[in-house]
Amino acid sequence: MRQKRKSKKLLKIYQKLYNAIGPRHWWPGDSPFEVIIGAILTQNTSWKNVETAIKALKEYNLLDPVRLLKVDEGILANTIKSSGFFNIKTKRIKNFIRFLFENYQGSLEKMFSENLTPLREKLLKINGIGPETADSILLYAGGKPIFVVDAYTRKILLRHNLISKAAGYSETQALFMENLEKDVRMFNEYHALLVYVGKYFCKRIPGCENCPMRGL
């Protein structure tokens, strides 16, 4: 019964947000590879800065696994400068690219043909790829049924008493994974909708009076 209540509550939140906000069409990107690079670049920065970096990569014809493998780190760092922490992110991109070639001959198709659990474990072993980035790659680029948790998600759930303050990434993720059908489309939309609420309503000083989750 407890699991049914959680499932019902989570579905109610999803339906209310979807009806109020509509589909978010997230993650923006022209290809799975662009989504992956965006997931690495968006760490500790705004999406606007990521868009600028992605645009620069396209202008210099670097948004390609082979070209990123061969490009000098200094050139790459200068190209993605707008994303912030560009030297660190350059190394993280290079780490992922080397992983892709060493394990899958540079093929995303081969990489995503692997089962979710072992692939996730491998991604998490790449230096600079944490749970949120790995799961964003799996869900948004690979179409794998896994729920992405970020700071917005945790804050919203905490304010609605759906998780405890001590809940970490895995426990928060399990709330969705264990109580909802493993539906890629729903996981995609649900996370994007929560990000929207966190960005525009559930701020440091919450705007509850206009929030689409009001009344839940």
Region 54-71: what's the mean pLDDT?
97
Given the structure tokens 């405890």, which residue do they identify? 164
Tokens representing residue 197 in the block: 């609420």
- What is the pLDDT at residue 191? 97
Residues 77 and 88: their CA atoms lie apart, in Å, by 9
- 4 pLDDT exceeds 80? no
- Contact between 54 and 41 under an 8 Å Cβ cutoff? The reply is yes
Average pLDDT, the chain: 95
What is the pLDDT, as a whole number, of residue 6? 86
Confidence of residue 206 (pLDDT cuts 50, 70, 90): confident
